[in-house]
Amino acid sequence: MTRRLTSGCIALLGLLLATPALAVYNPLNLLQNYQPEVVVSDPYVEMHTGPGRGYPIFYVAGQGDAITLLKQRTDWFKIRLARGAHRTKEGWVHIDQMRHTLDLDGNPIEFVDYGIDSFSGRRWEMGITGGDFEGAAAITTYVGYAVNPYITLQIEASQILGDFSDGSMFGANILMYPFPNWRVSPYFTIGTGIVEIEPQTTIVQAEDRRDEIAHAGVGANIYLSDRFILRFEYKRHTVLTSRDDNEEIDQWKTGFSIFF
């Protein structure tokens, strides 16, 4: 179980690291190393020397010109404009002007514009966190679906690495966002799940434990840029043991996620 969970954590981390290379524009979902061509439909688009309005405009592409998309940096696209067989111009165009282009078949293109408005209206979120589980290290992967801006349903899986025992935990949570439009968006969470403890001792044979848990907590999602979120969270777990007394466990964690 622990090995499978570790593999899942590594796979999700790899996906997070690979994500920035995806989707030059939507809905074609092209890779950045593929260089699509679009046609200018406005009278002109302004080409800047760098990816920002502070960079000067040095050239314009006219209506009907075909331009090649080279790469994207936040809200700016680097483009290439061919002027004859041996003359080209390369510059940066803002996404607002790129929306006034067409594909080679004459169809409008919907360019992705991830920002703070997209953050508050996100539907899917997935990420990985690390932290402390009552003195043990814990790594958690999670996937969440926003029913509406205020309510998100989430499932998560954790690997717990302690000095004397390892374990895994699986849970389902409800996250409630009172202020979903804030860049630092606090939330409350409640949920339930299962925790499995595997003792490492070889001196005395100890039984593996599998108990139900219930938890409540608070946290915050902090919008960084593009599709990236920084998350902080605290949970208070109640382990419903088969003995007469239950256990209370504190968990602190932080990590990163992406949203769609």
User: 130 and 209 in one domain?
Assistant: yes
pTM over 0.75: no
Looking at residue 28, what is its pLDDT?
A: 37
Looking at residue 203, what is its pLDDT?
A: 45
Give the integer Cα–Cα distance in Å for 249 and 22: 39
pLDDT tens track for 92-110:
999 888 888 888 778 877 7
Residue 163's domain comprises 2-19+118-259
Domain boundary at 64, 82, 111, which? 111
Residue entry with tokens 């690979």: 18
Give the integer Cα–Cα distance in Å for 166 and 136: 9
User: 152 and 70 in one domain?
Assistant: no
User: 34 and 14 in one domain?
Assistant: no
C-alpha pair distances (Å), 256 with each of 14, 17, 22, 74, 259? 13, 11, 18, 18, 10
pLDDT tens track for 125-137:
999 999 999 889 9
163: Cβ contacts below 8 Å, ≥ 6 apart = 136
Looking at residue 212, what is its pLDDT?
A: 92
User: 166 and 228 in one domain?
Assistant: yes
User: 83 and 15 in one domain?
Assistant: no
HSE-CB of 5 using CA atoms within 13 angstroms = 20
Domain boundary at 111, 141, 166, which? 111
Domain boundary at 111, 146, 165, which? 111
User: 96 and 136 in one domain?
Assistant: no
User: 41 and 8 in one domain?
Assistant: no
Q: How many structural domains comprise the chain?
A: 2
